[in-house]
Amino acid sequence: MTSAHDRLEAENTQALQRLADLTHDFDAMVAASRDTNADDEHDPEGATIAFERSQIEALVRQTERQLQEVAGARKRLDAGTYGTCVVCGSPIGDARLEARPAAEVCIRCAASSRLARR
């Protein structure tokens, strides 16, 4: 049985590794686009590179957000409020915490905030 602390630790390590991989991919792509003459914006190759770059940037932002969530969850673990929804104060539930150790809201609040964002 894994403790919340260990799960958060694992999640943090994975996210940092992913961020390192993405940064590496990004650097490699920038270097590659410098080699191929990507100055021409009408070059279809250039458009593909721009698309891939925006995909990687989106993944980087997502991973950074995940790291922030993990940091927040660690703080709540220290404060003894881990596993409690920050919105309504209900227990988040073991199954959800198992799947998303850094979850800060219960499934009901997560669902309603997704609806609110539409």
Residue 97 lies near Zn ion (rule: CB under 5 A) = no
Residue 107 lies near Zn ion (rule: CB under 5 A) = no
- Residue of 8, 70, 85, 103 that binds Zn ion (CB under 5 A): 85
Residue 20 lies near Zn ion (rule: CB under 5 A) = no
Residue 92 lies near Zn ion (rule: CB under 5 A) = no
Q: How far is the CB of 108 from Zn ion (least distance, A)?
A: 5
Beta strand segments in 1-116, E: none
Give the DSSP letter of residue 82: T
Binding region for Zn ion (CB under 5 A) out of 1-9, 10-18, 59-67, 81-89: 81-89
- Residue of 88, 98, 111, 113 that binds Zn ion (CB under 5 A): 88
Q: Which of 13, 31, 18 is nearest to 59 (CA)?
A: 18
Residues 17 and 41: their CA atoms lie apart, in Å, by 33
C-alpha dist (Å) from residue 91 to 57, 79, 85, 104: 34, 15, 6, 10
Chain residues that interact with Zn ion, rule: CB under 5 A: 85, 87-88, 90, 106, 109
